[in-house]
Structure 1
C-alpha cells in the first residue's frame, strides 16, 4: 500500500464557484496581513479557468482594498509564448481578471516576454530568469521565495509547463526554461523549474472536476514526479490542494483539512 505524504493537505469546496471564492478569500487575507507588516510579498500566478476564477473572486472581494498592492509583486509559474494581447496568454487573462483593476506600480507585474518583443523563446526564458534574479533571497538564491505559488494541475498531472516524462521536470540548474513541442497547445512556453516552485513558502494547487481526481490521488500517494509532476510540488511551509467535490473522490479522509 502506498504511503501518503501527510504534509500535503486538502481543502474541499462543494463546487468550482465556491472553490474560487474560498481561495480568493484566503489570498486577500494573507496579502492584507503581510502588507500591514510592511513586507514585500511575491506571488506566482497560474493560468487556466480556475486560476482566472480565483483572481476574479479576489477582485470582487469586499476586503480587497485592505491590501497594500504597492507591496505585492506578481509573477507567473509559466507563460505561453504568444503575442502580448493573445487571449490564451496567462498574463492577459490575469490582467483582465484582477491586475488591471488594481492601483499597483507597473514594475510590480513581472511578465514573461512575448513573441512580439522581437526575441526567441530561449532568450525569453533567460530574460525571465534575469528578472527573477533582481529579487534574490537573503542567502543569495537568485529568485524570490514566493509567499504563495499558485499552480493549476492538468489531468495528466502537469504543473506550470512541466509535463510528464519530459526533460524539463528534471532540470535543477536553471531558474526558467524554454519548453518546445509542448504536449498541450500552444507548443512554445516558458516555465519555472521545480526548484523555484519548491522554494516557495506556500504552494497552493487549485483543481476542479472529475478529470483531475486521478492526478490528485497520485500526487497524494507519492507518485514519481518525473511521471506525475504535481507529485513533486511542495512548499517550504505549506502545500495545500484546494479542490472541489468532483476532484476529491480519491482523497483519503485523513488528508482533508477544512481548518486551513
Structure 2
C-alpha cells in the first residue's frame, strides 16, 4: 500500500460528514475483524462533532462492537469537566452518550477543575497512553486519528511558529500560548499523530483552502503544521468543495 496524501472532495458539509461517518464504520469493522480491537483518536470542532453525529444517526451504528473500541483525543482545552467547549463533551453529546461503550474505553484528558495542574495533566495522559501500549512501547496502536485543520494550518493544539510542533521527545505537552482561546491546552505531539496508521483530516469552508493548498504544496511544518502530519499507512483529506479550492488537481482522488 502506498503512503501518499490524497484528497476526497464532497459537495457540502452535510455530504462530507455523512461520507466520513460511513467510511469510519466500514473501516472500523475491518479493523475489529483483523485486529480484535481499535484505538480511535478524536478531534473537536464543528466537523469533528458533525462526523460523530452522523455516525450516531447511521443505521449501521450498532453493527460496531463498541466494547472493543477505545477513544482518545488529539487535544483538549484546559477547561472544567463538562464544559461545552471541551472536545470530549462535544463528542459525548454527538455520539458517546448514545452508544453502549464501557467507561474505561473512553480516555479523556484531565480537566482544569480536577486535582492536577496543567503539566501534571500532560504527564498523566502520557502515562495512560503508555499503559495501553504493548510492553516496552510508549503508545498503543492508533488505528484512525481524526484531525481538524485550522485556517492557519494548525492541527490538534500545535500552532504555527510555536514550539509545540517541534517537540519530539514527549508524547503529550502542556500548551500555554495558544493563539486561539483558551490559551491553556493539552495536546498530543507530532510524533504521536504520525504514529497513527491512518490520519483522516476533515475540513470544510473556504477559509481552510489556503492552508490546505500550502500543506499539499510542501510548506514547512513550522509554517503550516498540517504539512508535517502523515499517517503510517494512509493520509486522507476529506474536504468540501470550498476547502478544495487550492488543491492541485492531481491530488484529488475520484474514490478512496
Please state which band the TM-score falls in when normalised by the shorter chain.
over 0.9
**1:36–1:68 contact (8 Å) kept in structure 2:** no
Find the residue that maps to 2:70 and give its secondary structure. Answer: strand
Q: CA deviation at 1:68?
A: 0.8
**1:50–1:152 contact (8 Å) kept in structure 2:** yes
1:117 aligns with 2:99: no
Structure 1 range deviating more: 128-137 or 11-20: 128-137
| Residue number in structure 2 paired with 1:71 | 68
| Alpha-carbon distance in 2 for matches of 1:181, 1:253 | 36
1:48 aligns with 2:45: yes
Structure 1 range deviating more: 247-256 or 72-81: 247-256
1:57 aligns with 2:51: no
Cα deviation 1:122-156 (Å, max 9, x = unaligned): 11101000000012147x33111210000000000
| Residue number in structure 2 paired with 1:100 | 97
Runs of 4+, deviation exceeding 4 Å: none
**1:161–1:190 contact (8 Å) kept in structure 2:** yes
| Residue number in structure 2 paired with 1:133 | 130
| Residue number in structure 1 paired with 2:175 | 179
TM-score normalised per structure 2: 0.97
Q: CA deviation at 1:221?
A: 0.5
**1:148–1:202 contact (8 Å) kept in structure 2:** yes
Aligned length in residues: 254
| Alpha-carbon distance in 1 for matches of 2:110, 2:236 | 30
| Residue number in structure 1 paired with 2:77 | 80
Question: RMSD between aligned alpha carbons?
Answer: 1.1
| Alpha-carbon distance in 1 for matches of 2:46, 2:83 | 16
| Alpha-carbon distance in 1 for matches of 2:177, 2:100 | 37
Cα deviation 1:191-229 (Å, max 9, x = unaligned): 000000000000000010000000100110110001110
Superposed counterparts of 1:141-220, under 5 Å: 141-220=137-216
1:245 aligns with 2:241: yes
| Residue number in structure 2 paired with 1:27 | 24
Structure 2, unaligned stretches of length 5 or more? none
Q: CA deviation at 1:38?
A: 5.5
| Alpha-carbon distance in 1 for matches of 2:254, 2:215 | 19
Find the residue that maps to 1:247 and give its secondary structure. Answer: coil
Find the residue that maps to 2:243 and give its secondary structure. Answer: helix
1:8 aligns with 2:5: yes
| Alpha-carbon distance in 2 for matches of 1:79, 1:137 | 25
| Alpha-carbon distance in 2 for matches of 1:38, 1:44 | 17
Find the residue that maps to 1:91 and give its secondary structure. Answer: helix
